[in-house]
Amino acid sequence: MSEKGHLWGGRFGSGPAEAFERLNASIPFDIRLAPYDVRGSIAHARMLGEVGIISREEAEALVGGLEAVLAEIEAGEFEWTLTDEDVHTAVERRLREKVGEVALKLHTGRSRNDQVALDLHLFCRDAAERIRDGVLDTMLALVQVAERHRDLVIPGYTHLQRAQPLLLAHHLLAHFWALGRDLRRLEAAREAANVSPLGAAALGGTPHPVDPAFTAAELEMEPFVNSLDAVSERDFALDLLYACAVLGVHLSRMGEEWVLWTSQEFGFAELDDAYSSGSSIMPQKKNPDAYELMRGKAGRLIGDLNALLVVLKGLPLGYSKDLQEDKEPLFDAVDGVLAVLDVLPGMLRTARFRRERMERAAGGFALATELADFLAMRGVPFREAHRVVGRLVRRCEELGVSLEEVPREELAAAHPAFGGLPEGLLTPRGSVAGKKSPGSTSPAAVEEQLRRARELLETRRGGAGTVDDRG
Between 469 and 64, the more confident residue is 64
Q: pLDDT, tens digit, for every residue of 451-462?
A: 999 999 999 887
pLDDT at 465: 41
- pTM as predicted: 0.90
Whether the Cβ atoms of residue 137 and residue 51 lie closer than 8 Å to each other: no
For residues 179 and 258, what is the distance between their CA atoms, to the nearest angstrom? 17
Class assignment of domain 114-150+163-200+227-356?
mainly alpha
3-state secondary structure at position 352: strand
For residues 339 and 357, what is the distance between their CA atoms, to the nearest angstrom? 32
Whether the Cβ atoms of residue 88 and residue 111 lie closer than 8 Å to each other: no
For residues 271 and 189, what is the distance between their CA atoms, to the nearest angstrom? 34
Q: Fold identical between 114-150+163-200+227-356 and 364-426?
A: no
Q: pLDDT, tens digit, for every residue of 364-405?
A: 999 999 999 999 999 999 999 999 999 999 999 999 998 888
CB crowding 69-91: b at 16 or more within 10 Å, else e: bbeebeeeebebeebbbbbbbbb
pLDDT over threshold 50, residue 363: yes
pLDDT at 7: 58
pLDDT over threshold 80, residue 161: yes
pLDDT over threshold 90, residue 107: yes
pLDDT at 9: 59
For residues 96 and 74, what is the distance between their CA atoms, to the nearest angstrom? 19
Q: Which of 14, 159, 280, 437 is catalytic?
A: 159
Q: How many CA atoms lie within 13 A of 469 on its CB side?
A: 17
- 2 given a catalytic annotation: no
For residues 25 and 302, what is the distance between their CA atoms, to the nearest angstrom? 26
For residues 99 and 79, what is the distance between their CA atoms, to the nearest angstrom? 17
Q: What is the pLDDT averaged over residues 258-285?
A: 92
pLDDT at 20: 72
- The pLDDT mean for the chain works out to 92
What is the maximum alpha-carbon separation in the chain?
Answer: 100
pLDDT at 420: 84
pLDDT over threshold 60, residue 170: yes
Q: Which CATH topology does 18-105 take?
A: Fumarase C; Chain B, domain 1 (1.10.275)
pLDDT at 14: 65
pLDDT band at 223 (very low <50, low <70, confident <90, very high): very high
In percent, how much of the chain has pLDDT > 70? 94
Angle at 261 between CA 259 and CA 265, to 5 degrees: 100
Name residue 155's beta-bridge partners.
Answer: 165
Q: How many residues does the chain have?
A: 471
Dihedral of alpha carbons 112, 114, 115, 118, sign? positive
- Pairing status of strand 153-158 against strand 161-167: antiparallel
Q: What is the DSSP letter of 17?
A: P
For residues 6 and 135, what is the distance between their CA atoms, to the nearest angstrom? 42
For residues 212 and 225, what is the distance between their CA atoms, to the nearest angstrom? 10
pLDDT at 81: 85
CB crowding 110-131: b at 16 or more within 10 Å, else e: bbbbbbbbbbbbbbbbebbeeb
**What backbone torsions phi and psi does residue 40 show, to the nearest 5 degrees?**
-65, -40
Class assignment of domain 364-426?
mainly alpha
CA distances from 274 to 227, 236, 283 (A): 51, 37, 17
Q: Closest by alpha carbon to 85, among 30, 4, 25?
A: 25
Domain chopping of the chain, boundaries: 18-105, 114-150+163-200+227-356, 364-426
Write out the DSSP string of 57-107. Answer: HHHHHHHHHHHHHHHHHHTT-----GGG-SHHHHHHHHHHHHHGGGGGGTT
For residues 121 and 326, what is the distance between their CA atoms, to the nearest angstrom? 12
Residue 372 amino acid letter: A
Q: What is the pLDDT averaged over residues 287-300?
A: 95
- 232 given a catalytic annotation: no
pLDDT over threshold 90, residue 67: yes
Whether the Cβ atoms of residue 430 and residue 440 lie closer than 8 Å to each other: no
Q: Which of 55, 208, 263, 279 is catalytic?
A: 279
pLDDT at 419: 83
For residues 357 and 266, what is the distance between their CA atoms, to the nearest angstrom? 8
Write out the DSSP string of 125-174. Answer: HHHHHHHHHHHHHHHHHHHHHHHHTTT-EEEEEETTEEEEEEEHHHHHHH
